[in-house]
Amino acid sequence: MSERTFSRRFRQQTGTTPLQWLLRARVRRAQYLLENTGHGIERIAVQAGFGSPTAFRERFKRVVGITPQAYRPSSHEGPAAT
């Protein structure tokens, strides 16, 4: 199967390109690590499959809308006090 055919079929089945799907999968992994570990941004970038911490920060912000540093505290907030 050619790369073009694979990409077309993948998009038909998932509604996204293989590259976009992979980026979102990496971001989901990073979100999990931010929520459940105390690892630094550099380590999370590597574990989630990003080429560099800078690339990780840029792509995370593009997908999630906030930086990884801002995401981490928000993922640990408990119920609001009344």
Q: Where are the domains of the chain?
A: 22-74
Provide the pLDDT for residue 76.
56
What amino acid is encoded at 67 in this protein?
T
Calculated CA dihedral for residues 40, 46, 52, 55, nearest 10 degrees = -90
CA atoms within 13 A on the CB side of 24: 8
Using CA atoms, how far apart are residues 54 and 65, in angstroms rounded to an integer? 15
Within 10 A of 3 (CB to CB), how many other CB atoms are there?
A: 8
Asked whether 68 and 60 are in contact (CB, 8 A), the reply is yes
Kindly report, residue by residue over 49-79, the tens digit of the pLDDT: 999 999 999 999 999 999 999 998 765 554 4
Domain range 22-74, CATH architecture: Orthogonal Bundle (1.10)
Using CA atoms, how far apart are residues 6 and 21, in angstroms rounded to an integer? 14
pTM of this structure:
0.81
Using CA atoms, how far apart are residues 59 and 26, in angstroms rounded to an integer? 10
